[in-house]
Amino acid sequence: MDDRICYFNGDYIRESEVRLSLWDTGLIGGGAYEAARTYNHAPYQWKEHIDRLFYSLRSLHIDPGLTPAEVYDITLEVFKRNEKGLEPEDDCIIMYWVSRGAMPNFYARPTRPTVIVYCINLSPVYEIIAKNYQEGIHLVVANTRQMPLQCLDPRIKHTNRLCNNLADFEAKMVDPQAFALVLDIDGFVCEGPRQNVFMVKDRKLLTPKLTHCLGGITRATILELAKELKIECAEEDLTVYDMYNADEIFITATSFTIYPVVKFNERVLEKPFPGAVTKRLFSAFSKKVGVDIVGRVVNYTKAKKELKK
């Protein structure tokens, strides 16, 4: 999949052929984005991701000129045109990027929105994903705080997430492999730059309230699975103190589902890794999507390494 096919403003073209205007508002005024994925080459929660994209677009006063159903059909077409480039064990991330479009001049309104739908296959990063599954990740609290609700609603998945990107840089100054944890202006745990966070204390699953963070679709699925498994769970105001004393910590995102945390702020968690609740949720999620999420990635990585010998 060296030069994949994408959707760009009404046409299906190669990624290398996309030409974004110098005056596109996405470069200076932002826009909305979304990321969905496949499991076993099948759509997974595309509707939920596309609905969230449209919630963000309405909040940003951007009309993409398409309906959610039309975007779903476009997504399916983009995937079909690229599916032959996927290996049997591979899956892909579907990316959506929408701006108000290009301005004829600096003072004019954009004439039409810019809409891009493209896909990225996951196997090139399987080795990194496998390492994070097996060894766990380092979660570091960043100094940069999340933008407060009074300024911008966190439910909008917009491209101007500069505070999150700065937090990511700060975490990687501590440890190049670390993931950032962002707090809100009151010091409560919020989210990662592109991830939601969970912790377990005394077998109870806890996650921050959505007051100052994006409501992840994987996050929602984890909470649903926890209820099905009869795991007590709650959305609460959590602090760094709570995280230091957690039995288990993990982060969630569409691309990797769950990453267990083995170290928090340079302190190794004292409990066994991965924890019992994390294991149960991994297993339940794998059953839901019909694939061993961890096993497939780990086995694929091992096989590739053997071929290189």
The domain locations on the chain are 5-121, 129-295
Per-residue pLDDT at 109 exceeds 70: yes
Q: Grade residue 25 by pLDDT with cuts at 50, 70 and 90.
A: confident
Q: Grade residue 271 by pLDDT with cuts at 50, 70 and 90.
A: confident
Per-residue pLDDT at 85? 85
Per-residue pLDDT at 220 exceeds 70: yes
Closest Cα to residue 264, out of 166, 197, 164, 188? 197
Q: What is the mean pLDDT of residues 148-175?
A: 91
Q: What is the DSSP string of 166-235?
A: HHHHHHHHH-TT-EEEEE-TTS-EEE-SS-EEEEEETTEEEEE-TTSS---HHHHHHHHHHHHTT--EEE
For the domain with range 129-295, which CATH number is right: 1.25.40.10, 3.90.228.20, 3.20.10.10, 3.40.50.970?
3.20.10.10
CA end-to-end span of the chain:
24
Q: Residue 207 in contact with residue 235, Cβ under 8 Å?
A: yes
Per-residue pLDDT at 78? 97
**pTM score:** 0.93
Per-residue pLDDT at 278 exceeds 90: yes
CATH 3.30.470.10 fits 5-121, yes or no: yes
DSSP code of 273?
A: S
Q: Grade residue 105 by pLDDT with cuts at 50, 70 and 90.
A: confident
Q: What is the mean pLDDT of residues 235-239?
A: 97
Per-residue pLDDT at 248? 97
Give me the residue label for tokens 């602090």. 239
